[in-house]
Amino acid sequence: MQPPYAITLDVGSSRANKTGAWRVERPVYVDRLPPCNDACPAGENIQRWLYHAEAGDYEAAWRQLVDDNPLPAIMGRICYHPCESACNRAELDEAVGINAVERFLGDHAIARGWRFDPPPAETGRRVLVVGSGPSGLSAAYHLRRRGHAVTLVDQAEELGGMMRYGIPAYRLPRDVLDDEIERILALGVEVVTGRRIDDLAAEKEAGAYDAVYLAVGAQIGRRTEIPAGDSARILDALSLLHQVAAGDPPLLGRRVAVYGGGNTAMDAARTLRRLGATDAVVVYRRTPKEMPAHADELADALHEGVQARWLTTVKSFEGGRLVLEKVRLEGRDVVPTGEFEELPADALVLALGQDSDLSLVEKAAGVAVEHGAVSVDDAMETGAMGIFAGGDVVPGERTATVAVGHAKHAARAIDAFLRGETLAPPPRHPLATFDRLNTWYYTDADRQRRPELETARRRSTFDEVVGPLREDNALFEARRCLSCGNCFECDNCYGVCPDNAVDKLDLAASAAAGRHYAFDYDYCKGCGICVAECPCGAIDLVPEVI
């Protein structure tokens, strides 16, 4: 005889009773925007390609990555990775080394000779791209992928823009640059180098182009009036870097000052050390806290022996001596103090910012230039129909990754324009914030470090400073991703549901639903255990609609 409190279960079924009528809230699977994706100026689906990388499917990861950014080996070296500053993992220990994994994938693709898929059928439409920096190259890539004929024109003899002529080889080896450029050109891009375009509107009409993308960058160094003697050697940082890249470095002496505080100033100072300057001194009118240079760039410069004079301006340069004046900050204002000192110097390099040469749009009716930049709308189109612009020539932050993002967005807009359509912004998912994560499930995992060249060799060669992750390190680093806000099929919801109300879908149903699981609301009572136990915050409880 059974005791009165015994419960008889239907052993032929894992679901004894339907519970749906008890529910006042129901769980639903959601997709949230990972903070890394949100912070990426190039608009990469970082979480998705990390998902493939952590499974060891590096080609799938690379192909997902280059769907947005065709230059992963380059950007894995020169991007300042704002994605990592936004990474939720930093709340646990350290951010995921996204940039290092991106570089690994880019290098891996080069080593294995992976190529882009060929373009689809030709559309018969022709687009002129002016400038071959990161924005121009990326625009050419995205436009060719859509079947449009692309002519890429640059006034330099070699492609790459500031990536070739402004970023030193110790940060970006030229063989890596050449490999990623060649892969884009292999899509069938027509290239014209060594040719300057003086009238963009006339060029568009003469070439019968259906659209134009302007991406000439900012390659003119700003100057300032500094009283100087006849023998004083003064040049701008961009000219210095360009001459070094072209294999014709200037002779500037052993004591050289660099006036400015941006990344170009750091590149110039570090380059001077490699050219033999025993005293490379950065002179900047503010403090390190206000420097526009990236913190890592400053740290590397100081590590390599570059000196710095903070809160200082250059007043004059004559007879091998710079006259410097100390200043103080009052809010954002720089106030002279009247205190002067001298600094021995053989040359002065100006790194005070860059401007774009926009003389080619002076006769283009409708193209407006304000504060040295071309005005564009949300689709990157100027006031002249069919003329688009991006990268350093438009208002905004001037980085290579921003330029790549502009190109992708503009290429989509140009494609829509050529098809007689209007580009519609994609829907935006809510942000996946750290408070939604169930971090109990994540174990400690130290961030993997990329090796660096020893200091002595840094000062005497242009060998690459930062090395790559090994494959095992890259795999480990990819697996540190928390998959914030999106299901990664961990089976937690399936395993913890007390009512067995989570179904695993077969391949066909999974493809149709866009996920591997579905709730059976006949048996779900809305207890919320699945929500609480989801590691990545990909399930919400919503009010039941009666």
The answer to the question of residue 140 being in a domain is yes
307-309 and 312-318 strand pairing:
unpaired
Q: Which of 351, 373, 400 is the last residue of a domain?
A: 351
Q: Tokens for 499?
A: 């009512």
Question: Token match 């750091």: residue?
Answer: 266
- Angle formed by the axes of helices 471-478 and 98-112, nearest 10°: 130
The answer to the question of residue 243 being in a domain is no
Helix (H, G, I), strand (E, B) or coil at 442: coil
pLDDT for 15: 53
Q: Which of 399, 388, 415, 394 is nearest to 141 (CA)?
A: 415
Rounded to 10 degrees, the C-alpha dihedral 500/506/508/511 comes to: 60
Q: How many CB atoms lie within 10 A of CB 514?
A: 9
Tell me how far apart the alpha carbons of residues 101 and 392 are, in angstroms, rounded to a whole number.
Answer: 27
81-90 per-residue burial string, b: 16 or more CB within 10 A, e: under 16? bbbbebbbbe
Count of the separate structural domains present in the chain: 4
Q: Which of 278, 296, 228 is nearest to 80 (CA)?
A: 296
**Which domain CATH number covers 55?**
1.10.1060.10
274-288 per-residue burial string, b: 16 or more CB within 10 A, e: under 16? bbebebbbbbbbbee
Could you tell me if 287 and 334 lie in one domain? yes
Tell me how far apart the alpha carbons of residues 413 and 435 are, in angstroms, rounded to a whole number.
Answer: 36
Tell me how far apart the alpha carbons of residues 502 and 488 are, in angstroms, rounded to a whole number.
Answer: 15
Could you tell me if 255 and 338 lie in one domain? yes
pLDDT for 11: 35
**Which domain CATH number covers 267?**
3.50.50.60
pTM of the shown model: 0.91
Tell me how far apart the alpha carbons of residues 404 and 139 are, in angstroms, rounded to a whole number.
Answer: 8
The answer to the question of residue 8 being in a domain is no
Question: Token match 């859509």: residue?
Answer: 146
Q: Tokens for 231?
A: 């023998």
Could you tell me if 337 and 270 lie in one domain? yes
Give CA 132 to chain center in angstroms. Answer: 17
Q: Residue 318 is part of which domain span?
A: 250-351
Q: Tokens for 191?
A: 């290239």
In tens digits, the chain (546 residues) has pLDDT values of 333 333 333 333 445 567 767 788 999 999 999 999 999 999 999 999 999 999 999 999 999 999 999 999 999 999 999 999 999 999 999 999 999 999 999 999 999 999 999 998 999 999 999 999 999 999 999 999 999 999 999 999 999 999 999 999 999 999 999 999 999 999 999 999 999 999 999 999 999 999 999 999 998 998 888 998 877 899 999 999 999 999 999 999 999 999 999 999 999 999 999 999 999 999 999 999 999 999 999 999 999 999 999 999 999 998 899 999 999 999 989 999 999 999 999 999 999 999 999 999 999 999 999 999 999 999 999 999 999 999 999 999 999 999 999 999 999 999 999 999 988 888 899 999 999 998 888 888 999 999 999 998 998 899 999 999 999 999 999 999 999 999 999 999 999 999 999 999 988 888 777 789 999 999 999 999 999 999 999 999 999 876
Q: How many CB atoms lie within 10 A of CB 109?
A: 24
Residue 281: C-alpha distances to residues 18, 350, 413 (Å): 76, 12, 45
Tell me how far apart the alpha carbons of residues 256 and 265 are, in angstroms, rounded to a whole number.
Answer: 12
516-529 per-residue burial string, b: 16 or more CB within 10 A, e: under 16? bbebebebbbbbee
Largest Cα separation within the chain, whole Å, is 114
The answer to whether 484 and 432 are in contact (CB under 8 A) is yes
Identify the helix (H) or strand (E) that includes residue 340: strand 333-344
Tell me how far apart the alpha carbons of residues 317 and 342 are, in angstroms, rounded to a whole number.
Answer: 10
Residues in the chain: 546
The answer to the question of residue 333 being in a domain is yes
**Which domain CATH number covers 538?**
3.30.70.20
Tell me how far apart the alpha carbons of residues 430 and 53 are, in angstroms, rounded to a whole number.
Answer: 25
Could you tell me if 532 and 445 lie in one domain? no
The answer to the question of residue 162 being in a domain is yes
Could you tell me if 255 and 347 lie in one domain? yes
Tell me how far apart the alpha carbons of residues 166 and 157 are, in angstroms, rounded to a whole number.
Answer: 15
239-288: pLDDT as tens digits = 999 999 999 999 999 999 999 999 999 999 999 999 999 999 999 999 99
pLDDT for 7: 32
The answer to the question of residue 244 being in a domain is no
Q: Which of 136, 29, 183 is nearest to 390 (CA)?
A: 136
The answer to the question of residue 427 being in a domain is no
pLDDT for 3: 37
pLDDT for 422: 87
Dihedral angle sign, alpha carbons of residues 357, 359, 361, 367: positive
Could you tell me if 346 and 256 lie in one domain? yes
Query: What separation, in Å, do the N-terminal and C-terminal C-alpha atoms of the chain show?
Result: 43
471-492: pLDDT as tens digits = 999 999 999 999 999 999 999 9
Could you tell me if 145 and 104 lie in one domain? no
Could you tell me if 409 and 494 lie in one domain? no
Could you tell me if 327 and 254 lie in one domain? yes
Give CA 514 to chain center in angstroms. Answer: 28
The answer to the question of residue 428 being in a domain is no
Could you tell me if 344 and 378 lie in one domain? no
Question: Token match 């500094």: residue?
Answer: 226
The answer to whether 72 and 102 are in contact (CB under 8 A) is yes
